Amino acid sequence: MAKVKARVKVPKKVAKGEIFEVKSLISHKMESGQRKHKKTGEKIPRQIINKFVCTYNGKAVFSSDWHGAVSANPYLSFHVKAVDSGSLDLAWTDDSGAVYKKTTKITVT
């Protein structure tokens, strides 16, 4: 599979206690397991990202379970309450067990 590329967008600076939006996008085919091979007619096995976890300074703040109906190149946005400056770690796990990670710095003023 092509190299998986993850993109994350967060505000440059957030005030303490402010709730900010995290937007993420990851390149992944999200093979649903419902499609059939054009020539053989066999079902193409499922290969999707099934788990997403967001950790803020070591504490899991948001997670999500995905099924076959999540679109290819999944987009996800959610919110986090700013506490301290630090790192926001996003991790996507797919059916093969591969984990794709992306870390973003958060600056709290």
Residue ranges binding another protein (CB under 8 A): 19, 32, 34-36, 56, 59-72, 74-81, 83
Shortest Cβ 65–another protein spacing (Å): 4
Report the residue number, 80 or 90, with the smaller CB distance to another protein: 80
C-alpha–C-alpha distance, residues 74 and 1, integer Å: 16
Q: Is 10 helix (H, G, I), strand (E, B) or coil?
A: coil
- Tokens at residue 1, please? 């599979």
Shortest Cβ 72–another protein spacing (Å): 7
Shortest Cβ 2–another protein spacing (Å): 18
Please identify which residue in the block is written with the tokens 């020539």. Answer: 39
C-alpha–C-alpha distance, residues 62 and 24, integer Å: 13
Report the residue number, 8 or 62, with the smaller CB distance to another protein: 62
C-alpha–C-alpha distance, residues 107 and 109, integer Å: 6
Report the residue number, 1 or 60, with the smaller CB distance to another protein: 60
Region of 40 please: left (phi>0), alpha (psi -120 to 50) or beta.
alpha
Shortest Cβ 73–another protein spacing (Å): 8
Report the residue number, 32 or 102, with the smaller CB distance to another protein: 32
